[in-house]
Amino acid sequence: MRLLSPFAIILLLGLLNIEFLKAQKLVDSLATKRTRALFLNLEMAANEGKILFGHQDDLAYGVGWRDVPGGSDVRFSCGDFPAVYGWELGNLEHDSVANLDHVNFKKMKTWIREGYRRGGVITLSWHLDNYHTGGSAWDTTAAVRDILPGGAHHERYKADLDRFALFVNDLEGGNWPRKHKIPIIFRPFHEQTGAWFWWGKTHAAPADFKNLWRFTVAYLRDVKGLHQILYSFSTSYNYDTAEEMLEFYPGDEWVDVLGIDFYAYDTLPQTWERFRSCHKILVETAEARGKIPALTEFGFETIPQHDWWTNVFLKNLLLDPSLSRMAYACAWRNANPKHCYVPYSAHQSLPDFQEFYRNPATLFEADLWDFYKKPKPKPVRNPKPVEQEKTSSSTLK
- Residue 162 within a domain: yes
Q: Which helix (H) or strand (E) element contains residue 282?
A: helix 269-289
Report pLDDT for 375. Answer: 86
Query: SS3 for 163?
Result: helix
Return phi, psi of residue 96, to 5°: -75, 155
- Residue 16 within a domain: no
- Residue 143 within a domain: yes
- Residue 17 within a domain: no
List, in sequence order, every beta strand (DSSP E) within the chain: 51-56, 61-62, 65-66, 84-88, 121-125, 172-173, 180-181, 184-187, 229-235, 257-264, 292-300, 328-331, 362-363
Residue 197 identity (one-letter amino acid): F
DSSP state letters, 348-382 = TTHHHHHHHHHSTTEE-GGG---TTS---PPPPPP
Please give the DSSP secondary-structure letter assigned to residue 183.
P
d(CA 189, CA 201): 11
- Residue 6 within a domain: no
Q: 324-353: per-residue pLDDT in tens?
A: 999 999 999 999 999 999 999 989 999 999
On whether the CB atoms of residues 143 and 155 are closer than 8 A, the answer is no
Return phi, psi of residue 237, to 5°: -105, 30
> What is the Cα Rg of the chain in Å?
21
**CATH at residue 155:** 3.20.20.80
Pairing of β 61-62 and β 65-66: antiparallel
CB contact set of 121 (below 8 Å; sequence gap of 6+): 38, 42, 52, 54, 83, 84, 85, 185, 328, 371
For residues 55-90, one letter each, b for 16 or more C-beta atoms within 10 angstroms of the residue's C-beta and e for the rest, the string is bbbbbbbbbbbeeeeebbbbbbbbbbbbbbbbbbbb
d(CA 302, CA 340): 5
Tally of domains within the chain:
1
Report pLDDT for 379. Answer: 54
- Residue 363 within a domain: yes
Catalytic machinery residues:
191, 297
Report pLDDT for 244. Answer: 95
Q: 161-199: per-residue pLDDT in tens?
A: 999 999 999 999 998 888 999 999 999 999 999 999 999
Q: Which helix (H) or strand (E) element contains residue 166?
A: helix 154-169
Domain holding 289, by residue range, is: 34-396
- Residue 80 within a domain: yes
Enumerate residue ranges in the chain where pLDDT < 70: 1-24, 377-397
d(CA 49, CA 365): 16
- Residue 184 within a domain: yes
pTM reported for the whole predicted model: 0.90
